[in-house]
Structures are given as structure tokens and as C-alpha cells.
């Protein structure tokens, strides 16, 4: 029997969970702090490969694993950062999903986790660039707030379908970029304020 810590993908609270050699791969949880419902897949790593691009500020991961029934599998995902993440053979890893979207990858052997953020943020990348502070703020707001909302999550999916088409057709239109800058400025300001307030509230809650 091994005790690991499961990380909530929304508030990042951690709580202990015991696994055994006969444990199932998928486990459904509800965070006791923020009440977020999520599914975690607990596996043992066989091998990991990754390929990063500093120019595009993203990295692709391929992780081969064994589940606790002895079955083999493969998980692939992209993250909006060129930084690597350590996963070695026989490490216990947890892949946590919200509404079938990968949000957290944990290496429980070294007690470290990666917050997964999709590189798909086409309009903001087009306007600000792949390594900009504004893009990081908008991605953080999307991941923490929009994707956790039943109301806003479908809007994000619609954005993923529409924005690549708009950028493809209007990439060289200077007016298009200028209009986007004007429209996105208050959104970035609000997202930055909201994330800072959320961070302060969580810090105050953890010290009370």
C-alpha cells in the first residue's frame, strides 16, 4: 500500500490517497475545499519522451505507462511552455482530468506536479506573441475560471473552432490586429485582477 497526494486541478489543494497493487486506474474525486469534481488516472511510468519548441513556447509529451492491472498504455499531450517535466521509469504518476480535459500531471515519486495549459490560444498568441505576459494571463484565466464553468466551457470550445479561421484569413490585416488589441486590453486587465484576487484569497485561506 502506498499513500500519494492528489492535487485538485482548480484550487490546487492536496489530500492523501492510498493505492494498492490492485487499484483501478481511474478514480473520481470531489475536492473538499472548492467542490470541483475531477477524474484522476493513477499509473506507473514506463517511459517518457518530450519535444519542446522555444519559438512556439510549447512542448509535446508522450508517456508510456503500466496501470495497476498490468495493462500498458500511452498518454500524449501538449503544454503551453517549452519547459520539460520529470517522469522516470517506475515513477507513480497521476493524470487528472476535468470534463475529459487534462489539467494536472503529477510525479508522486518526487512530489511535484505540472499544471497543463493548452497552447491553443490563437488570437492572443497572434496579437501578443507566444511568450508574452498577456498570453500567460489569459491562459491562466481560461484554465482556472472558464474551463471550470459549465456556462463558459462551451464558449472556449467555440473559440477554438472560430479563432484559427479568423487568424488564417486576416493575419496580414493591420486593422484586424489593432481592433483585437483594443478589445483584448480590458479582458487582460480583468483577468489579471481576478487571478491576483484569487491568489490572495487562497493565501489568506491557507494561513487562517
Q: Report the alpha-carbon distance of residue 82 to residue 117 in Å, rounded.
A: 12
> How much is the pLDDT for 140?
87
pLDDT at 75: 96
The stretches in the chain having pLDDT less than 50 are none
pLDDT at 81: 86
Three-class SS state of 101: strand
Segments making up each domain of the chain, as ranges: 2-115, 122-207
Predicted local distance difference test score (pLDDT) of residue 96 = 96
Partners of 105 in beta bridges: 95, 114
pTM: 0.77
Q: What is the pLDDT of residues 3-52, one digit of tens each?
A: 999 999 988 899 999 887 666 788 999 999 889 999 999 999 999 999 99
Q: CA-CA distance, 8 to 123, in Å (whole number)?
A: 29
Amino acid at each position: 500500500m502506498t499513500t500519494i497526494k492528489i492535487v485538485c486541478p482548480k484550487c490546487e489543494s492536496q489530500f492523501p490517497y492510498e493505492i494498492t497493487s490492485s487499484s483501478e486506474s481511474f478514480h473520481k474525486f470531489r475536492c473538499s475545499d472548492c467542490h470541483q469534481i475531477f477524474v484522476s488516472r493513477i499509473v506507473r511510468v514506463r517511459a517518457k519522451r518530450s519535444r519542446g519548441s522555444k519559438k512556439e513556447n510549447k512542448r509535446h509529451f508522450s508517456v508510456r505507462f503500466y496501470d495497476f492491472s498490468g495493462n500498458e498504455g500511452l498518454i500524449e499531450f501538449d503544454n503551453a511552455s517549452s519547459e520539460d517535466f520529470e517522469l522516470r521509469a517506475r515513477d507513480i504518476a497521476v493524470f487528472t482530468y476535468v470534463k475529459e480535459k487534462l489539467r494536472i500531471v503529477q510525479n508522486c515519486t518526487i512530489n511535484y506536479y505540472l499544471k497543463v495549459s493548452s497552447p491553443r490560444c490563437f488570437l492572443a498568441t497572434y496579437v501578443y506573441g507566444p511568450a508574452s505576459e498577456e498570453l500567460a494571463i489569459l491562459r491562466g484565466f481560461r484554465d482556472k475560471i472558464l474551463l471550470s464553468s459549465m456556462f463558459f466551457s462551451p464558449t472556449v470550445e467555440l473559440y477554438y473552432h472560430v479563432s484559427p479561421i479568423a487568424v488564417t484569413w486576416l493575419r496580414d490585416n493591420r486593422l484586424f490586429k489593432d481592433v483585437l488589441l483594443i478589445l483584448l486590453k480590458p479582458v487582460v486587465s480583468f483577468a489579471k485582477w481576478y487571478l491576483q484576487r484569487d491568489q490572495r484569497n487562497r493565501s489568506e485561506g491557507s494561513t487562517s
